[in-house]
Structure 1
Amino acid sequence: MSSTLSRSPSGTEAPAVALVTALQSLARAQREAAGRIAHELDWPRSGVALLHLLARCGPTSLTDVAAHLRVDLSVASRQVSTLVDGGYVVRTVDADDRRVRTIELTDAGLALAAEAREQYAALIDRAFSAWSPEDLDEAIRTLDRLVDTISADTERRRAPQNQQEFA
């Protein structure tokens, strides 16, 4: 549903608004798929995303976890604590900088991440079985461009010289 402000003079939906609507639908579909996989693993969706990140990146700082997941540090800390409590992640203190906590998967975390990766692969194989490699390449390029465009605008707005402008 769009407001009259998002319509062109001809009454059609403005392309940028239609794009945002499509992205919101994509985000919902992704959350639903991730939720289904997390349910099958009997694990919270956010925990599975964190396991996937750590399996891909290896040991990393809590600050980097928050940045990669694009969440507040306190949110990342709660997600990590849940995984620590479950025995899937360990926190260690950096020997060079005792303020830094490194997050790393345990063997149980690696196994759960591998199981989640297999389930994601099966879902993707089913969902995109009718897509050609060229279709997939085009979709990847377009999505990467969208992420870069939105991220660049977000970073520009976060820049210190713009803080007063957007306050």
Structure 2
Amino acid sequence: MTSHLSRTPSGTEAPAVALVSALQSLSRAQREAAAHIAQELDWPRSGVPVLHLLARCGPVSLTDVAARLRVDLSVASRQVSTLADAGYVVRTVDAEDRRVRTVELTAAGHTLAAEASEAYTNLIDQAFSAWSPEDLAAATRTLNRLVDTIGADTTHRRSPQNQQEFA
């Protein structure tokens, strides 16, 4: 039940509360889309974002994987371990700083990432086929503004266990 503080004087839902609700719905829709793609590829959903990240950025540290995906380092480590066990990524020790583990796609990982990207592109193309390029551009600007606003208002605080990398 919505409290009286999240309603306008006329009794309607406050705009910011409606926005948060819409963002939560968007997040659920994104998770469902990722689950659909992972199911098509016969792969656990949690590995898909790591594949996309590594395909886009190339080799990165495990800490960077966690930061860019905005997940705890232990979560990123488990996701990377699953991908490494399946032969899609390799972890190497950084030559300059032996505490740092670098993660990169293997040839099989590049193939799987390409398949995931194609499946995602097809899903998005189909979902937004009725939208004009102008509508898509406006939505993109608005979403980027939301990300900037929310990101500026929150800081990613690392817990003590996140200060070191997991192998």
Q: Establish whether TM, by shorter chain, passes 0.5.
A: yes
Aligned partners of 1:121 and 1:157: how far apart in 2? 33
- TM normalised by structure 2 equals 0.91
Runs of 4+ in 1 over 3 A off after TM superposition: none
Give the 3 Å change call, closer, same or farther, for CA 148–11 of structure 1 in structure 2.
same
The 3-state SS of whatever aligns with 2:154 is helix
**CA shift at 1:45, angstroms?**
1.0
Q: Where do 1:5-154 residues align within 5 Å?
A: 5-154=5-154
**CA shift at 1:53, angstroms?**
0.6
1:28-47 Cα offsets, whole Å, 9 max, x none, are 11110110010111111110
Identity %: 80
1:64-101 Cα offsets, whole Å, 9 max, x none, are 00000000111100100000000000000111111111
The 3-state SS of whatever aligns with 1:155 is coil
Aligned partners of 2:97 and 2:157: how far apart in 1? 31
Aligned partners of 1:123 and 1:87: how far apart in 2? 26
Aligned partners of 1:32 and 1:21: how far apart in 2? 17
Q: How many matched pairs?
A: 158
Gaps in structure 1 of 5+ consecutive residues:
159-167
Residue type at the aligned position of 1:121 = T
Structure number having the greater helix percentage: 1
Aligned partners of 1:84 and 1:156: how far apart in 2? 27
Aligned partners of 1:131 and 1:14: how far apart in 2? 28
When the two chains are superposed, the root-mean-square deviation of aligned CA atoms in Å is 1.4
1:89-132 Cα offsets, whole Å, 9 max, x none, are 00001111111110000000000000000000100110001111
Aligned partners of 2:151 and 2:96: how far apart in 1? 32
- TM normalised by structure 1 equals 0.91
Aligned partners of 2:156 and 2:119: how far apart in 1? 37
Residue type at the aligned position of 1:144 = N
